[in-house]
Amino acid sequence: MSEQSGAQAMQFGIMSVSDITRDPTTGVTPSEQERIKATLAIATHAEEVGLDVFAIGEHHNPPFWSSSPTTFLAALAAQTERLIVSTSTTLITTNDPVRIAEEYAMLQHVSDGRMDLMLGRGNTGPVYPWFGQDIRQGLPLAIENYALLHKLWREDVVDWEGKFRTPLQGFTSTPRPLDGIAPFVWHGSIRTPEIAEQAAYYGDGFFANNIFWPKEHYQRLIELYRQRFEHYGHGTREQAIVGLGGQVFMAAKSQDAVNQFRPYFDNAPVYGHGPSMEDFTEMTPLTVGSPQQVIDRYAAMREHYGDYQRQLFLIDHAGLPLKTVLEQLDILGSEVVPVLRKELAKDRPAGVPDAPTHAARVKATYGDGPTRQARPGANRGDNLTADSPYEDTPAPAGAAFGLGRKGA
């Protein structure tokens, strides 16, 4: 396996929302093909400069291009060796949880476990009816759909009846997760305490958007998640798995960064024509300046949120051209992330877990023993009466997943 070892305290990476935005300095809007290829170039360069993660958002409307994250991430995994491919976010409300279970398990196999995913509800109202859902049911959909997804990855044969989806009788989601280990899930949130609660309930990761709003909002969410993680018995609050977003724009001289980024900031759909860039950078984690300013700002995140496991930066939006984004990656990889790795590792308490990887999770489940290799049995097509559609040995000690009804 090309998977890196499990011992990685912090993961650094970038996340893209897949917007196709006019470059305000040139008036040029890239085509979908140009932007998709540019994002592949950005993501592969992220690995080249030593980053660990690339995450892509999911949207189903212009000006965004990423409607099919797993297709894109599979191509990216094929072009990289070490990078973890992920999402920011996968829509748990409007996607059928069965399709999520299948597509991401497939991605897990083709990437040799170099993947995870982040779930979110999505904030584009019109998307819901396109997929036959109602935005007023956003939270119940997130809760019920994830309950099913969680089960589909852990039990070979699933009976299911919920409010939102056609019932399942003796259903097997294929392929089964790689090595019998479900993909790691982060629950992403901008404001909703119920999502922090959900992440805590399952002992999954919690990712705070940490982009658009003041840190105080995210502090409350993360504190709640840590407290509830402990409440549900997954470990101490320090052992909860926290990820953070962030956004930066850098140049060697601080003033150059400010001048270069301002037209993009002023015209960006998400915050353009609102607060000044100066006000916005003061109120939110957006940092526009020298690499040292970025280091200072992000090294302080652990003081706001506690020791955490993953830091993702948004750097490729608002019409910034490919060349500029690649330069930003060079600065991140050479000047910023190496220093942040050291800073955030300094005095990191022993009990704080490393960032989750497939290899580490395999090891935690099986030790050095053989992993589960699911092989369809002769009874396929007969899930309703047979014990399991798979013949697989060995079953791990204290299996974390059910092996059909016999084990359930």
Partner 1 sequence: MTTRRIAVVSAGLSNPSSTRMLADRLAAETVKALAERDIDATVDVIELRDHAHDITNNMLTGFAPPALETAINTVVSADALIAVTPIFSTSYSGLFKSFIDVLDPDALAGKPVLIGANAGTPRHSLAIDYAIRPLFAYLHADAVSTGVFAASSDWGGGGDDVAPLAKRVEKGARELADAVARREAATIADPFDPATYLGEGRSFGHMLGGLAGE
Report in angstroms how near the CB of residue 271 gets to partner 1 at its nearest: 6
User: Burial of 70 by CB count in 10 Å (0-12 exposed, 13-18 middle, 19+ buried)?
Assistant: buried
Minimum CB separation of residue 297 from partner 1 in Å reads: 18
3-class state of residue 160 by DSSP: strand
Cβ at position 178, least distance to partner 1 in Å: 26
Rounded distance between C-alpha atoms, residue 120 and residue 135, angstroms: 13
Tell the smallest beta-carbon distance from residue 213 to partner 1 (Å).
4
| Closer CB to partner 1, 274 or 370, in the complex | 274
Question: Are 355 and 8 in contact, with CB atoms under 8 Å apart?
Answer: yes
Q: With respect to partner 1, which residue has the nearer C-beta, 279 or 391?
A: 279
118 and 187 Cβ atoms separated by less than 8 Å: yes
Q: Between helices 291-299 and 337-345, what is the axis angle to 10°?
A: 30
Report the alpha-carbon distance of residue 65 to residue 388 in Å, rounded.
40
Q: Which of 138, 62, 57, 115 is nearest to 90 (CA)?
A: 57
Q: State in angstroms the smallest separation of the CB of 39 from partner 1.
A: 25
Cβ-based nearer residue to partner 1, 222 or 340: 222
Strand ranges in 235-303 using DSSP code E only, listed in sequence order: 242-244, 248-250, 287-289
In the complex with partner 1, the residue whose CB is nearer, 129 or 275, is 275
Q: Which CB, 52 or 144, lies closer to partner 1?
A: 144
Cα–Cα dist 280/72, whole Å? 32
Provide the angle, in degrees to the nearest 10, between the axes of the packed helices 97-110 and 69-79: 10
Backbone angles phi, psi at 155, to 5 degrees: -125, 130
Comparison of 212 and 327: residue with beta carbon closer to partner 1? 212
Judged by CB, which is closer to partner 1: 44, or 219?
219
Number of other CB atoms surrounding residue 139 within 10 Å: 14
Cis peptide before 291 (omega within 30 of 0): no
- Distance from the Cα of residue 250 to its chain's centroid: 24
Question: Site residues (CB under 8 A) for partner 1?
Answer: 143-144, 147, 162-163, 193-194, 197-198, 200-201, 212-214, 217, 220-221, 223-224, 228, 232, 270-271, 273-275, 279-280, 283
Dist CA 42 CA 315 (whole Å): 10
Nearest in space to 333 (alpha carbons), one of 46, 76, 53, 79 = 46
- Cβ-based nearer residue to partner 1, 275 or 351: 275
